């Protein structure tokens, strides 16, 4: 199946008086990697939450190809092929890496619904497990499949989260700060994995990230948010030169809320 086009049309989101998103518009073309950047509190995670139905929008529309997903439940949106990772790592620490990845297969499992015979359940289980092993190999976690997730090194946890989102067989992959907390080499590797996954699995990718080195090297286009509004949009080379972006995000010294990563000059 071909990768989807995502259209965000004048999307607004309010939290009891606070306008977290203010008529946000952008389009992600099929098969491209689209970054959303901006200072802390700009509304980036809130935007991702509206895309997968966690936060109901207060205005505007979200379209995945011809499907309007604006008011669909999260499971219906996932069923259309939207997979995501969260800003904070969400794994079951007592479970094995394999079991955490199998959770990602949940939406694709039909055994519970249609298989009355146990053998069919087992056969399907085996099929899912094979695919999970392939994905674990792809992200470099093969040797960790039987490890307890809670005992993984931080870098492996970030890979686990990425792999679990891939286990959903998404068409639109949404990543919230995929390389946060990783060192430069790990960040580069995970960034490259995103590009490889995009090509190999025919994905459209939307990601939020503060690491400007990764953003500039893997994004096809960038949308910049500040105070819930789009303040710039364009190719990486255009965005990094945009004076509004530079003052709003990339290094104004009087922005105490800017994170250390946010203050880094793009490479
Ligand atoms: N569930 C919520 N209830 C109330 N306010 C919220 C909620 N989620 C987010 N907000 C507020 O919306 C604004 C945007 O927050 P959001 O988490 O989207 O920012 P962000 O751009 O992802 O920031 P960061 O880079 O720090 O992750 C903030 O003012 C935040 O406090
Ligand atoms: Mg966030």
| Residue that is last in its domain, among 169, 189, 208 | 169
Give the dihedral of Cα atoms 112, 114, 117, 119; nearest 10 deg: -70
Q: How far is CA 115 from CA 56, 101, 105, 110, 211, in A?
A: 34, 22, 16, 7, 46
Q: How far apart are CA 228 and CA 87, in angstroms?
A: 18
Over 50: is that where the pLDDT of 266 sits? no
| Domain match, 10 and 120 both | no
64 and 179 fall within a common domain: yes
87-127 per-position pLDDT tens digit: 888 889 999 999 999 987 876 665 544 444 455 577 888 88
Query: Is residue 264 one of the residues assigned to a domain?
Result: yes
- Residue-wise DSSP of 119-171: HHHHHHHHHHHHHHHHHHHHHT-GGGTTSBGGGS-HHHHHHHHHHHHHHT--S
Q: Is the CB of 262 under 6 A from ligand 1?
A: no
Q: What is the pLDDT of residue 110?
A: 53
Task: Give the mean pLDDT of 245-264.
Answer: 52
- CATH number, residue 14: 3.40.50.300
- What residues are neighbours of ligand 2 (ion), with CB under 5 Å? 44-45, 87
Are 201 and 238 within one domain?
A: yes
66 and 174 fall within a common domain: yes
Q: How many domains does one find in the chain? A: 2
pLDDT above 80 for 254? no
Query: Is residue 178 within 8 Å of residue 158, measured between CB atoms?
Result: yes
Last residue of a domain, one of 128, 144, 169: 169
| Residue 145 falls inside a structural domain | yes
* 4 and 42, same domain (yes or no): yes
Whether residues 73 and 202 share a domain: the answer is yes
Same domain (yes/no): 222, 109: no
Task: Please count the helices (runs of H) and the strands (runs of E) in the chain.
Answer: 10, 10
Query: Strand order in 33-37's β-sheet?
Result: 82-84, 172-176, 204-208, 33-37, 221-226, 229-234
In three-state secondary structure terms, 253 is coil
> Would you say residue 90 lies in a domain?
no
- Give the E-state strand segments of the chain in sequence order: 6-15, 18-28, 33-37, 59-64, 67-68, 82-84, 172-176, 204-208, 221-226, 229-234
Biggest CA pair distance of the chain: 65
Q: Looking at ligand 1, which atom is closest to the CA of residue 49? A: 18
Is residue 131 domain-shared with residue 150, that is, in the same domain?
yes
Q: Can you tell me the distance from the alpha carbon of 248 to that of 55, in angstroms, rounded to the nearest whole number?
A: 26
Say whether both 195 and 257 belong to one domain. yes
Q: Summarize the confidence of residues 79-86 as an average pLDDT.
A: 92
Is the CB of residue 125 below 6 angstroms from any atom belonging to ligand 1?
A: no
pLDDT tens, 50-75?
999 999 999 999 999 999 999 999 99
- Based on the domain organization, do 184 and 74 belong to the same domain? yes
Question: Between residues 16 and 218, which one has the greater pLDDT?
Answer: 218
- Domain annotation covers residue 148: yes
Q: 55: Cβ below 6 Å to ligand 1?
A: no
How many whole angstroms from its chain centre is CA 45? 10
**One domain, residues 183 and 257:** yes
pLDDT digits (tens, 9 = 90+) for 191-214: 999 999 999 999 999 999 999 999
- Is there a domain that residue 122 lies in? yes
The fraction of the chain above a pLDDT of 70, given in percent, is 87
CB 165 within 8 Å of CB 106: no
Q: Is residue 92 part of a domain?
A: no
d(CA 120, CA 186): 40
Residue 28 lies in a domain: yes
Is the CB of residue 54 less than 8 Å from the CB of residue 182? Answer: no
Contact between residue 198 and residue 10 where contact means Cβ atoms under 8 Å apart = no
| Ligand 1 within 6 A of CB of 40 | yes
**What's the Rg (C-alpha) of the chain?**
19
The pTM of the full predicted model, rounded to 2 decimals, is 0.89
My answer on whether 205 and 264 are in the same domain is yes
Q: Give the whole-angstrom CA distance, residue 204 versus residue 193.
A: 14
Our answer on whether the CB atom of 13 is closer than 6 Å to any ligand 1 atom is no
Residue 109 lies in a domain: yes
Please say which residue of 125, 150, 169 terminates a domain: 169
Instruction: Identify the domain containing residue 140 by its residue range.
Output: 97-169
């Amino acid at each position: 199946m071909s990768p989807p086009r995502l259209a965000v049309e004048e999307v607004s989101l309010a939290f009891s008086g606070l306008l977290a998103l203010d008529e946000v518009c952008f389009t992600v073309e099929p098969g491209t990697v689209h970054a959303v950047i901006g200072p802390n509190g700009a509304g980036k995670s809130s935007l991702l939450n509206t895309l997968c139905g966690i936060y109901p929008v207060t205005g505007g529309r979200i379209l995945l190809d011809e499907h309007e997903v604006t008011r669909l439940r999260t499971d219906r949106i996932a069923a259309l092929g939207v997979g995501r990772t969260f800003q904070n790592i969400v794994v079951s620490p007592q479970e094995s890496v394999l079991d955490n990845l199998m959770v990602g297969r949940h939406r694709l499992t039909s055994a519970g619904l249609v298989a009355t015979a146990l053998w069919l359940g087992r056969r399907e289980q085996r099929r899912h497990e094979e695919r999970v092993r392939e994905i674990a190999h792809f992200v470099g976690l093969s040797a960790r499949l039987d490890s307890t997730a809670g005992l993984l090194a931080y870098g492996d946890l970030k890979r686990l989260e990425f792999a679990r989102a891939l286990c959903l067989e998404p068409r639109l992959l949404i990543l919230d700060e995929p390389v946060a907390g990783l060192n430069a080499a790990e960040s580069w590797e995970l960034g490259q994995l995103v590009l490889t996954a995009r090509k190999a699995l025919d994905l459209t990718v939307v990601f939020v990230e503060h690491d400007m080195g990764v953003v500039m090297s893997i994004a096809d286009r960038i949308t910049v948010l500040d105070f819930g509004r789009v303040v710039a949009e364009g190719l990486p080379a255009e965005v990094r030169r945009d004076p509004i972006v530079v003052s709003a995000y990339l290094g104004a010294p009087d922005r105490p809320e800017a994170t250390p990563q946010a203050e880094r000059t793009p490479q």
